[in-house]
Structure 1
Amino acid sequence: MHDVKNHRTFLKRTKYDNLHLEDLFIGNKVNVFSRQLVLIDYGDQYTARQLGSRKEKTLALIKPDAISKAGEIIEIINKAGFTITKLKMMMLSRKEALDFHVDHQSRPFFNELIQFITTGPIIAMEILRDDAICEWKRLLGPANSGVARTDASESIRALFGTDGIRNAAHGPDSFASAAREMELFFPSSGGCGPANTAKFTNCTCCIVKPHAVSEGKCYVEYTIFSTFC
Structure 2
Amino acid sequence: MVKWRVMALERTYAMVKPDGVKRGLVGEVLRRLEHKGFKIVGMKLMQIPRATAEEHYGEHRGKPFFEGLVSFITSGPVVAMVVEGENAIAEWRKMMGATNPKDAAPGTLRGDFAATIDENIVHGSDAPETAEREIGIFFKPEELL
| TM > 0.5 fold call | yes
1:137 — aligned with what? Answer: 93
> Identity of paired residues, percent?
34
> Is 1:108 matched with 2:108?
no
Task: Provide the C-alpha distance between the structure 2 equivalents of 1:87 and 1:103, rounded to a whole number of angstroms.
Answer: 24
2:26 — aligned with what? Answer: 70
Q: By how many angstroms is 1:54 displaced?
A: 1.6
2:126 — aligned with what? Answer: 173
Q: Which has the higher contact order (CA 8 A, sep 6+)?
A: 2
Give structure 2 stretches of 5+ with no counterpart: none
**Structure 2 counterpart of 1:55, one-letter code:** L
Task: Provide the C-alpha distance between the structure 2 equivalents of 1:105 and 1:146, rounded to a whole number of angstroms.
Answer: 26
1:37 — aligned with what? Answer: none
- Following superposition of structure 1 onto structure 2, how do residues 117-156 of structure 1 map, counting pairs within 5 Å? 117-148=73-104, 152-156=105-109
Alignment deviations for residues 25-48 of structure 1 (CA, whole Å, 9 cap, x no partner) = xxxxxxxxxxxxxxxxxxxxxxxx
Please give the secondary structure, in 2, of the residue aligned with 1:76: helix
The TM-score with structure 2 as length reference comes to: 0.89
Q: By how many angstroms is 1:108 displaced?
A: 2.0
RMSD over equivalenced CA pairs, Å = 1.5
Task: Provide the C-alpha distance between the structure 1 equivalents of 2:40 and 2:127, rounded to a whole number of angstroms.
Answer: 19
The TM-score with structure 1 as length reference comes to: 0.57
Please give the secondary structure, in 1, of the residue aligned with 2:106: coil
Please give the secondary structure, in 2, of the residue aligned with 1:65: helix
Task: Provide the C-alpha distance between the structure 2 equivalents of 1:77 and 1:135, rounded to a whole number of angstroms.
Answer: 10
> Is 1:54 matched with 2:8?
yes
How many matched pairs? 137
Task: Provide the C-alpha distance between the structure 2 equivalents of 1:138 and 1:87, rounded to a whole number of angstroms.
Answer: 21
Task: Provide the C-alpha distance between the structure 1 equivalents of 2:90 and 2:48, rounded to a whole number of angstroms.
Answer: 26
Please give the secondary structure, in 2, of the residue aligned with 1:87: strand
Please give the secondary structure, in 1, of the residue aligned with 2:76: coil
Find the structure with the greater CA-based Rg: 1
